[in-house]
Amino acid sequence: MASLEFGLVNAANRYLTAEPFRFQVTATGLQLKPRQVWILQFMAPQGAGAAGPGEGAGQKLHLLSALKRFLAADANGKITCDQDHPGPQTIFLLQQYPDGKVSLQNEQSKRYLGGAEENVTCFAQAASETEKWTLHLAVHPNVAMLSPNRKRYVRCDEKAGALRCDRDMPWGAESVITIYYDFKGKVKKYGLRSGAGRLLAPDGSLVPDVTPQTLYSLELNNGLVALRDEEGKYLTAREGTMKTAKMDKPGRDELFSIEASPAQVSLRSSSTNKFICCRPGADLYANAIAVGNTELFQLLYDDDTKRVCFRGYCGTYMALGPNDCIISSKQKDRNVWFELQYQDQKVVLRIGDKYVSMRPNGQLLAVPKAAGKSEEFLMVLVNRPLLVLHTDAGYVGLCSGMKRLEANCVSYVASSLSLTEEGYYNFQIGSNYWVLDKDGQVMVTGDQPSNFTIQFASSTCVIIKASNNKFFVADLGGRLWAGASDAAGATLFHY
């Protein structure tokens, strides 16, 4: 069952909200926060029966709240959201309209979802403006885009100045697409940004500025999305290069899956500055002088055990093998899960009571001793050319008219990452770097870079340590400052 996360905005510009008290549903949200996010679970196969706006009988779906309860409507129009399993009353039909809005008709009662403030019902027999909703895509902006028909992922070809749909798997920085949100007008629109921050134009070129031509309206098709430009043309992967083409409705080459983009990292030895290389069926060595596909690992984080595993380009895992050798294994078993122990900007990998260590020839072994320089590695986040941070209070963005970062913004500001020789991150927006003021608040005023470290704290979140040796904290009011003395007090940032 395909699913996507959205906010639903009514005619009064308020978000449909799942209230924890008695699982009530209101339309009171002023901006998209966790309680305003709904998972649309489509019941048909992905992309089945491609239909344009205003066509067909509607797409069957369930709406799942942030509290993991299903939205339901009875024959009298009463809305509830307390069921933990879907049923006949939880099936809705999503209908799209030429202006980009949608309606949600309960399949059983044939009535439409609508209303305002505390009075949300499913009673109207026809969809007026009160029963129409604007969709606000709620995924993190850093995504991978798949064409299911071509079975290929979109990547940025910066040299050619184009987006191409030709990658077998989303590997490396060029396979991360950053979605630009434009929510100023009545219709919410989206742009596609490359790692250098340039936006895709209808002719397939990448341009530096946001214009009406680089913004697309979004259409849904059973869990897949189509993007339509201001002339009504659809973005297509038909010729391998992404650009728009004229057609009445999107076909299979115009439908894309929006997927999460998990972290990919490289591991560099502190003692030799060489990278760990993972090839199938071989012992692992830290002997590569540059990062290619075989020196990248997808970082998989187990939120229960707080351990990680490293998946290589060929689908094998870094694992503890016979004779305490570190090997490339096809099995995802207990021997692939490592504990990360951070030592400032470096990391030590522990498995059981042993540590991953490097021999003078670069071979990796698990050794039963306290960590030293041979056991220290630099783990670098490779696939975030543009870093976008999000908390439960909102995005990290620039305070209006100020050069101060705040953590409760409606729209994000993307920062570019660079790495020092010692392994610290520098964050930059435009020509200015992140720095701390005397109170530890994060300013974007620096002529010279300031050093930060990134630590992985969950399957979707990182924590950040600043040059004052304290961790970032995002207060409820939006203040972003380096004030936590340990990782336990740090704010988790979705990245």
pLDDT(56) > 70: no
- Strands 326-329 and 297-302, by their bridges, are unpaired
418-460 per-position pLDDT tens digit: 999 999 999 999 999 999 999 999 999 999 999 999 999 999 9
Which amino acid, 288? A
Q: Of 465 and 51, which is predicted with more confidence? A: 465
Instruction: Give the mean pLDDT of 147-170.
Output: 96
3-state secondary structure of 187: coil
Residue type at 372 in one-letter notation:
G
pLDDT band at 51 (very low <50, low <70, confident <90, very high): very low
pLDDT of residue 98: 87
Which secondary structure element, helix H or strand E, spans residue 134, and what is its range? strand 132-137
pLDDT tops 60 at residue 393? yes
Note the pLDDT tens digit of each residue in 316-356: 999 999 999 999 999 999 999 999 999 999 999 999 999 99
Out of 37-41, 45-49, 198-202, 206-210, pick the least confident.
45-49
First to last CA, the chain: 25
* Beta-carbon contacts of residue 167 (< 8 Å; ≥ 6 apart): 152, 153, 154, 155, 175
Give the pLDDT score at 48: 54
For residue 376, what are the contacts with CB-CB under 8 A and spacing of at least 6? 269, 270, 271, 343, 346, 347, 348
What residues are paired with 139 via a beta bridge? none
pLDDT score at 46: 58
| Residue 53 banded pLDDT, cuts 50, 70, 90 | very low
Banded pLDDT at 373 (limits 50, 70, 90): confident
pLDDT tens for each residue of 96-147: 998 889 999 999 999 999 999 999 999 999 999 999 999 999 999 999 999 9
**pLDDT of 370 above 80:** no
pTM score of the predicted model: 0.92
Model pLDDT, residue 1: 75
Range with the poorest average pLDDT among 92-96, 186-190, 421-425:
186-190
Higher per-residue pLDDT: 58 or 112? 112
Of 268 and 98, which is predicted with more confidence? 268
Model pLDDT for residues 220-250, shown as the tens digit of each residue: 999 999 999 999 999 999 988 999 999 999 9
**Cβ distance 331 to 319 under 8 Å?**
yes
Contact 135, 8 (CB under 8 A): yes
Among 456, 455, 454, 458, CA closest to 305: 458
